[in-house]
């Protein structure tokens, strides 16, 4: 066999191997193992020494009732019962469709989240291409016109995620739900990518401060049994 024949045969073998590799589906990582995620922030929440610890759980967007419940709980604990802010820890644990609120405008626009979740942007009347539940009423300035907790224009009546985060509320995302949403986005958009690629893209564009856990169902058990958090279903 001459050199040209050997090169041709080798090249054909490499091309065949490559085609096998690239046609192999990227497996969905529904089940995260311990090394797959950063558990430090979750552990800190579990081990919090604050007196009042509550996890608010939502699996449906449902008019974002869970955000209003979170605001009401925080106001009741601080103003009504006089617990100091540094003794209150509220966590919003989201799975199912509600989990998508943990993700940025990048995700909402790229994967047409508003169309999937049937959420319209009040500014356009069209399916939302941004996370309309994130930005506070006053935006980056964080300057509210009133300090009166009864005033709709105060921080204390702002139910958007950014405002609640500024008060110390932590948001937790279910990775299993993220994987499920990724498959829905691929199907909705007829995308020529593997769902796992979409899931990884989403994880890289979670909102600031969001803690992503392998499974919210498991995390809720740990919050209650190990962290001694009270539980409220929104």
Return the pLDDT at 108: 98
How distant is the alpha carbon of residue 92 from its chain centre?
10
The per-residue pLDDT of the chain, averaged, comes to: 89
**pLDDT, tens only, 83-115:** 999 999 999 999 999 999 999 999 999 999 999
Helix (H) or strand (E) holding 17: helix 3-23
The partner residues of 103 in beta bridges, in order of sequence, read 206
CATH no. for 29-233: 3.40.1260.10
Cβ within 8 Å of residue 192, ≥6 positions away: none
Residue at token pair 């994987």: 179
pLDDT band at 151 (very low <50, low <70, confident <90, very high): very high
- pTM, two decimal places: 0.86
Are the C-beta atoms of 137 and 153 separated by less than 8 Å?
Answer: yes
CA separation for the pair 2, 111 (Å, rounded): 53
**pLDDT, tens only, 155-166:** 999 999 999 999
Are the C-beta atoms of 215 and 176 separated by less than 8 Å?
Answer: yes
CA separation for the pair 123, 128 (Å, rounded): 9
Cβ within 8 Å of residue 162, ≥6 positions away: 134, 135, 136
Return the pLDDT at 16: 37
Give mean pLDDT, residues 188-211.
96
Identify the residue with better confidence: 82 or 20: 82
């Amino acid at each position: 066999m001459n050199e040209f024949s050997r090169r041709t045969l080798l090249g054909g073998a490499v091309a065949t191997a490559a085609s096998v590799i690239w046609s192999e589906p990227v497996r969905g990582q529904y089940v995260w193992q311990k090394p797959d995620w950063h558990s430090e922030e979750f552990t800190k929440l579990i081990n919090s020494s604050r007196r009042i610890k509550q996890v608010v759980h939502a699996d449906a967007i449902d008019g974002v009732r869970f955000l209003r419940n979170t605001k009401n709980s925080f106001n009741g604990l601080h103003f009504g019962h006089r617990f100091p802010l540094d003794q209150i820890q509220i966590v919003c644990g989201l799975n199912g469709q509600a989990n998508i609120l943990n993700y940025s405008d990048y995700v909402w626009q790229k994967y047409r989240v508003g169309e999937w979740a049937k959420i319209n942007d009040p500014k356009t009347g069209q399916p939302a291409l941004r996370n309309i539940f994130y930005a506070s009423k006053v935006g980056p300035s964080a300057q509210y016109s009133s300090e009166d907790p009864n005033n709709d224009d105060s921080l204390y009546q702002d139910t958007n995620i950014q405002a609640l985060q500024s008060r110390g509320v932590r948001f937790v995302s279910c990775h299993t739900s993220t994987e499920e949403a990724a498959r829905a986005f691929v199907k909705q958009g007829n995308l020529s990518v593997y769902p796992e690629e979409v899931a990884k893209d989403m994880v890289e564009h979670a909102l600031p401060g969001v803690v992503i856990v392998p499974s919210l169902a498991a995390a809720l058990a740990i919050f209650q049994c190990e962290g001694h958090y009270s539980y409220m279903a929104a």
